Amino acid sequence: METQLDPVKDDLPLMANTSYLLVKHYILDLDVDFKSKVIEGSIVLFFGTGSRYRKASSTGNEGSQSQFDEACKRKTSESCHAPVTNVNASSSETKYNEFAICGKGEDTSDEEQSSRISSSRDICDIENHGNKDFLLILDCCDLSVIKVEEVDVAAVSGIEKFTGFAKLTNVSKELQNLRNQIVHELVTLPADRWKEQLHFFTCCSQAPGCGELLFTSGTWSLEIKKSGIQTPDDFPHAIRIWYKTKPEGRSITWTTDQSGRPCVYTMGSPINNRALFPCQEPPIALSTWQASLRASKGFVVLTSGENSAEPVQLQEGVSSWYYYVTMPMPASTFTIAVGCWQEVKQQSSTAAIQTNTEFSLTSLQADFRWHKEVCSHVEYPCRFQNPAAKLQAVIPYRVFAPWCLMGYCEEHLLQLIPRCLSAAYTTLGTHPFSRLDVLIVPSNFSSLGMASPHIIFLSQSILPGGSHLCGTRLCHEIAHAWFGLAIGARDWTEEWLSEGFATFLEDIFWARAQQQLSHDEVKGQQELKALLRWRRLRDEVQNSEEELQVLR
């Protein structure tokens, strides 16, 4: 019996059991088909051990198994949900909680729609034939999953040179253990070997499958198991999922741009990316990714990536675009936009602004930001430790828009970007990301802007508003590079924190970007905005239900 989710009051369930296996890297290999309004292909997931199972394993194998079994016997689980704003879909009753592996703040309840697992409800129920197989649960909805298989990473040529097979002499000779050990060494490579790591991730993603895995597609999840595998440690650490999206999928929007040409882009909200690819959505699940996307010639593919991808023609009429990210990020921050976008080229005046900005860097070198910084985050090629990145007041950027809006972008947006980037750098220091794409999205975009790693979506509504509206919104989204992306809340119910920081910083950035303003003019401008915000907040409080006025 399914319970309906109230789109205003209820939360989106986070189903992934991240306490035992964490996705460390995704490789997406997808085709974008505008005729059928479907994105299809495969995704390869590389896993590392989750926090709970690492702690259990430290007590020894015997203790690890007993603690895992105890978790399987639980009759209840604590729920963790993400905020829902526009979802009108069915939730599910808790019917798997007697076997699902769930850590604090995670819910594994789901309504089974179609089953390829016999008696999957009782997978970890000791009373059911003594079967206690481990079940991997991923966040997923509005997807047609075709096949799930284990990837034979041991078949990759040259893998033995980098994994150091000498280390494997004390490991069980079973091929499953060998494959998992290879993945473990691959996901734990030091940051200075990131190019080599990406190369072998790619090679492993192209390795053949070595056995199909059983799976169940539910309303909000994809559940996967391998018969006879009872612990996360023995579960395949590299799996490939063949799937396709649905035209009605709520993570992406198929529409036309302002010039009437077809396009598709990620919404980034009510259900995050779970209708784009199976993933782990709790923000503690930080991962890197690579994405190869193919579309018809003439389309431009933009996505969250550190590289400025250029199209590679694969066959007549089809081009491929490749992006990668080496900073571990929540899967929900991945963004894609495919359309007949036109790049707005830099003008000479823009280059002059950038040159003048960088001329003033010598005066900043005495600032505390130039001292050696110690980062406490997980290891990755961090820009805060990169001397060259510390000198980069304006990171490389590109602007894309439909053909009919290029004039507006040339007149307003293009000249503001270096000033806003420089103002952010002067305020906060090193940019967390190495480059930036800015895209004017279709008119059905429901917000003024949205920031993702290496890419910002902006509404067309800000362009006619002159430099002030365009500049303040751009500053707001740039601030999210630090607050919301490089630093984020521990769970999705606290997103107001990053919004608060970005709203506060947009005024500071914009004041510095308007170099011609006096101190009194800046102060008056900020006081006026503060008054307008206060009036808006007062009106919202007076016209909303009391339960919607409480911070969670």
Active-site residue list: 477
User: What SS3 state is found at 538?
Assistant: helix
What is the spatial distance between Cα 103 and Cα 15, in angstroms, rounded to a whole number?
11
DSSP states of 266-284: E--STTTTTTTS-B--STT
- CA terminus-to-terminus distance, the chain: 29
Handedness of CA 322, 324, 330, 334 (dihedral sign): negative
Helix (H) or strand (E) holding 389: helix 387-390
Burial tier of 240 (Cβ tally within 10 Å: 0-12, 13-18, 19+): buried
**97 Cβ contact partners less than 8 Å away, ≥ 6 residues apart:** 74, 75, 76, 77, 108, 109
Handedness of CA 204, 209, 214, 216 (dihedral sign): positive
CB contact at 8 A, 275 and 245: yes
**459 Cβ contact partners less than 8 Å away, ≥ 6 residues apart:** 440, 441, 445, 447, 448, 449, 473
β partners of residue 223: 137, 216
* 449-452 and 455-458 beta bridge pairing: antiparallel
What is the spatial distance between Cα 328 and Cα 478, in angstroms, rounded to a whole number?
19
Q: Buried b vs exposed e over 2-13: b needs ≥16 C-beta within 10 Å?
A: eeebeeeebbbb
What is the spatial distance between Cα 427 and Cα 449, in angstroms, rounded to a whole number?
21
